[in-house]
A and B are shown apart, each in its own frame.
Chain A
Amino acid sequence: MSGVYLVREWQKQKVDESGALSITTVLSNPPAVNVCRRYTQTDLNRCFTNALLSSPITDTTPYEMRRAQELNAQLGPKGSEKAMDLLIDIHNTTANMGLCLIFYSSDLMMLHIYKYIQSKMPSVPVRAIIMDIPLSEAFSLESVGKHGFAIEVGPQPNGVLRADIFNLVKKSLDLAFEWIQEFNSGCTFKAGEVEAFTFVKSVDYPRDPATGEITAAIHPQLQDADFKLLRRGDPIFLSFSGETVKYDGEDNYPYFVNECAYYESKTAFKLAEKTTMTFPSISVKN
């Protein structure tokens, strides 16, 4: 709900600029918003690969695929000179992930914005998840802009608007705009390094082989422990019959732990590697 209410509020206040920046606000999936569901027919945020954006629309094309092509026309086209310079997509998660910026590959501008936001919000966990996928296969909305990132903030239940989470989202956007304005006005941001997380794999729930129903819940020690190192032997599931299932893999960092929307995509949690990204300074081209 954070993104829905923030965009609605800016549209009500007719916010279309911040300093010299021109801002376009969009409610990406209005029918889903109206019924307060993730999507109506298919997940909009998986529809932005090059292949899906160029596939022909027929009578049976799901709503979200059509909408993705509309959004691509309005905010892109993806990969072209006409695309938005920066596309920010606001999300919430039921997982205890704090504030995460999610972006494709090591976009230098994104790394600087992340570092800037992190440095100005020291009392909040601010992290980056970098998706190492070529642009053509990038499936989410922010890949349509020349630069783009998703802001994923949690924990917040679906359908709930928490003031503390809303305030975090708003603050991080204000900081992103601040950075961009300083960048545009000729400021050089110096080289540095940041920690970031990169996806390794997803882990599903234990399931009944006959029915496919889950047979365990995320273990209380893993619940809400996003980004805390998971070691071999640590508990990950507690079955309904009382058995503890232990983690049997490489030491890694869990995230999206118990995200509501991922039950259907067979993900109890994802695992990431932590890396240190070193990056050069950045300044606007003259």
Chain B
Amino acid sequence: MSSYSNTARVNEARRVAIFGGTHGNEMSGVTLVNLWMKNGIEIQRKGVEVKPFITNPKAVEKCTRYVDTDLNRAFTPENLSAPTGDDLPYEVQRAQEINRMFGPKGSPEAYDVIFDLHNTTSNMGCTLILESSKDYFNLQMMNYIKKAIAPASCLVLLNEHPLLKYSTSRSVAKHPVGLEVGPQPQGVLRSNIFEAMRVILKHALDFIEMFNEGVEFPPCSVEVFRVSERIDYPRDANGNIIAMVHPNLQDCDWEPLNPGDPMFQMFDGKTIHYQGSGTVYPTFINEAAYYEKQQAFVTTRRETLVASSIRKA
């Protein structure tokens, strides 16, 4: 159906990594990676090396998000090129080590695909995080996953925002894929969340195996939610939070938020309303780790991305 000249030729994905414990208290990834490091039969696929890896072992041991600094923000060019040394924050040292093992970031030697497993306290369900709207390989894989798990839902969050995009551990790879499943409290392992993440990875690896075998995937459209704006909690002069996510907004990730809708509730009960210019789709609503990053939720806008057909080079 597709003519040869419209098909994007993409290199085979020969080396794939699955990262768990980038945040040490997000238990689905920690548990899955530990399981697969002991017995990796479930993640084996013909023609591809799949390496499970705990990225932040000290944080995992303490069951905390990070020890010195957020590993999932640490893969900046400055950090990666800084001279190595014990005086560097632990996570910066880890970032350099991970960049050596799975990168270098931006080079032809880098791993083809890295899946980075995360949980969130937000009611986001299964979410795939995309870092580039031009990554047709990732778009095709996400399209495949969405269709494979239907009618269960798996949404795609696109973070290409010039200011809000951050330097993730998965960004070391040519095709970085974030998996974010919630809601799950930090430090807690919920069976349904764990199994959902496991199923998504199964389909992702199936896609890679088929792709490597030469299957051509026809052009597809993928609905994505593009990160637009970060909204912080109302705070007082000392930086303390003075309101909470409103009960009407709590747990309503991906549902439309219209101007005038309740957004925050102050401690005395008063409502603060959303004052934006149009309808947005909020997500990461009330994520525990984002209080310190000045974020109550992010707004997104719905968009349809088109990926050309792809076939291995």
Contact = CB atoms under 8 A, between A and B. Distances in A.
Interface of A: 5-6, 8-9, 37, 94, 155-164, 166-167, 213-214, 217-220, 223, 238, 240, 258, 260-261, 263
Looking at chain A's contact residues, is the secondary structure mostly helix, strand, loop, or mixed?
loop
A166 B244 contact: yes
22 contacts: A5-B267, A8-B240, A155-B185, A156-B185, A157-B183, A158-B186, A158-B288, A159-B121, A159-B186, A159-B289, A160-B121, A162-B250, A163-B265, A164-B247, A213-B34, A214-B189, A217-B189, A218-B191, A223-B191, A223-B192, A260-B188, A263-B187
B46 interface: no
A263 B30 CA distance: 15
B188 A159 contact: no
B249 to A, nearest CB: 9
Contacts of A158: 185-187, 288
A163 B247 contact: yes
Contacts of B289: 159
Interface in B137-180: none
Interface of B: 31, 34-35, 64, 121, 183-192, 194, 240-241, 244-247, 250, 265, 267, 286, 288-289, 291
Contacts of A260: 185-188
Given A94-B185, A240-B35, A260-B185, A160 B288 contact: yes
Contact of B241 (A157, A161, A220): A161
Given A8-B240, A213-B34, A223-B191, A159 B288 contact: yes
Contacts of B183: 157
B35 A163 contact: no
A220 B265 contact: no
Contacts of B194: 217, 240
Contacts of A240: 31, 35, 194
Given A214-B189, A240-B35, 13 more contacts: A5-B241, A5-B244, A9-B267, A155-B185, A157-B184, A159-B186, A163-B250, A164-B247, A166-B244, A217-B194, A240-B31, A258-B189, A260-B188
A223 B190 contact: yes
A223 B195 CA distance: 14
B286 A258 contact: no
Pairs A-B, 5 closest by C-beta atoms: A157-B185, A159-B288, A217-B191, A163-B244, A260-B187
A223 B246 CA distance: 26
Contacts of B121: 157, 159-160
A5 B186 CA distance: 19
Contacts of B246: 163
A163 B245 contact: yes
A224 to B, nearest CB: 9
A223 B184 CA distance: 12
Contacts of A220: 191-192
A106 B240 CA distance: 40
A258 B188 contact: yes
A272 to B, nearest CB: 21
A238 B196 CA distance: 14
A219 B195 CA distance: 11
A154 B187 CA distance: 15
A155 B286 CA distance: 14
Contacts of B191: 217-220, 223, 238
A156 B289 CA distance: 14
Contact of A157 (B31, B247, B267, B288): B288
A167 to B, nearest CB: 8
Nearest to B238: A12
Contacts of B192: 220, 223
A240 B187 CA distance: 17
Contacts of A217: 189-191, 194
Contacts of B288: 157-160
Contacts of B34: 213
B257 to A, nearest CB: 16
A249 B64 CA distance: 35
B283 to A, nearest CB: 15
B190 A160 contact: no
Nearest to A170: B267
A9 B243 CA distance: 11
A88 B291 CA distance: 27
B64 to A, nearest CB: 8
A164 B245 CA distance: 9
A217 B64 CA distance: 20
A270 to B, nearest CB: 16
Contact of B188 (A37, A94, A163): A94
Contacts of A258: 188-190
A204 B298 CA distance: 38
A26 B174 CA distance: 52
Pick the most buried of A94, A162, A213, A217: most chain B CB atoms within 10 A of its CB.
A217
Pick the most buried of B34, B35, B187, B289: most chain A CB atoms within 10 A of its CB.
B187
Contacts of A6: 267
A183 B250 CA distance: 37
